[in-house]
Structure 1
């Protein structure tokens, strides 16, 4: 079932790839990719499988696999805030993944909210906070707009 949670998962995969310099779940087929996911996150429970796919009919794993910690996977290549965000994004159960607005409010992005922050080459940041009226309304409803938007100090 498609939802924004699928896009959140994808964002997490891209984020890990940016830090590691390679795909986190590299597989040559759907089955191989699933094996790579399980090697990192551990064997999903029956409930997690059901939440990912309500039509799931009982994928069996011969031996349960214990997942790795994100700190182990990153091996010092990512800051603590990035590891924390990824751990909230790459969850088997879509309902347990961080929401888009909560991800934007995560401390990992605090640097982008600092007044006068510039790109590494000294250029100004592109417009990052030009939200639609609907997005502003939704983030305010969640009491997150003050955290997401940069301070004017």
Structure 2
């Protein structure tokens, strides 16, 4: 089955395995092939992998498309995806080298698409848990959520595994080892990513969980019993003492952002997960006024874009 693909180059590698771009000799398309380190010895095992299970269900223009799954002798598994030009992380690095910044219009367009994908994902019973610029893929001005290897079903019972997204984009409840995670962890990550798009650097960079929590406190102010009593208890459980910071006006850190953008980022970066807006709510935020919503006419028809009034 893999003979129909001609490997072009390696485009990624991680704990999950390795990704190549390849030429599909049968269709003439360039695809992305993800070889998993996980072994699968039956069709049922393959279908129950969270990434495969989620992507077969989540069909949306802002979620990367899984084209097929190939299992070969010995249990090696290959996931065949549509191929994108690169990641948001690569685009950000390129712009940094060129001393350029994203315009607010570009940020609005990119983030709106990601929230569209997240609204579809969360509405269909999954949350990502590993959102970061590396896992947002770009082709021209279209952005798609990728790498659902850490995704979880919203109705799955806790506890969850400790590992979720790169530390800089982890929500406070995850940094404090909360046994319960929900789609709000994705919303925090998007708040951090939006801020990074405006300022050109990670907002909460740190070498360990303590450093990241310190950075968060210095930006949004330390949590209190009144705004996040559960978090205070989580910190006590692991003998962590929050530093005392009043925080700073977010507008001073995002001087090029509109009031609407600052307001949205501030709501996403709420200590209390219950206070963060859902992806569906974010799509109605004034920051996104005039953006085009994606509608799906039929499972058998192409995706179309239309301005919903």
TM-score by length of 1: 0.68
1:37 aligns with 216
Q: Does residue 2 in structure 1 map to residue 181 in structure 2?
A: yes
User: 2:190 maps to which residue?
Assistant: 11
Which structure has more relative contact order (CA 8 Å, sep 6+)? It is 1
Aligned mates of 2:289, 2:224 — CA distance in 1: 34
For structure 2, which runs of at least 5 residues remain unmatched after alignment? 1-179, 299-305
Match of 2:286 in 1: 107
**d(CA) in 2 for partners of 1:4, 1:106:** 18
Aligned pair partner of 1:60 in 232, 236, 241? 241
Query: Which residue number corresponds to residue 72 of structure 1?
Result: 252
CA contact (8 A) 2:235 2:241 kept: no
Q: CA deviation at 1:28?
A: 1.6
1:54-101 Cα offsets, whole Å, 9 max, x none, are: 644263246x21011111111x22111110111111000001111111
Richer in helix (by share): 1
What is the distance in 1 between the residues matched to 2:280 and 2:233? 26
Provide closer, same or farther for how the CA distance between residues 132 and 83 of structure 1 changes in structure 2, counting only shifts above 3 A. farther
Q: 1:85 to 1:92 in 2, by over 3 A?
A: same
Alpha carbons 1:85, 1:106 under 8 Å: kept: yes
Which stretches of structure 1, 4 residues or more, deviate above 2 A after TM superposition?
Answer: 46-62, 130-133, 149-152
CA RMSD of aligned residues (A): 2.6
Alignment gaps of 5+ in structure 1: 114-127, 134-148
TM-score, length-normalised on structure 2? 0.36
* Aligned counterpart, 2:269: 90
Shift of 1:48: 4.7
Whether the 8 Å CA contact 2:264–2:287 is kept in 1: the answer is: yes
Q: Distance in 1 between matches of 2:211 and 2:219?
A: 13
Higher alpha-carbon deviation: 5-14 or 38-47: 38-47
Greater C-alpha Rg: 2
Size of the aligned set, in residue pairs, is: 121
Per-residue CA shift, 1:94-148, capped at 9, x if unaligned? 01111111101111111323xxxxxxxxxxxxxx513699xxxxxxxxxxxxxxx
Structure number having the greater strand percentage: 2
Which whole-Å CA distance do the structure 2 matches of 1:33 and 1:82 have between them? 23
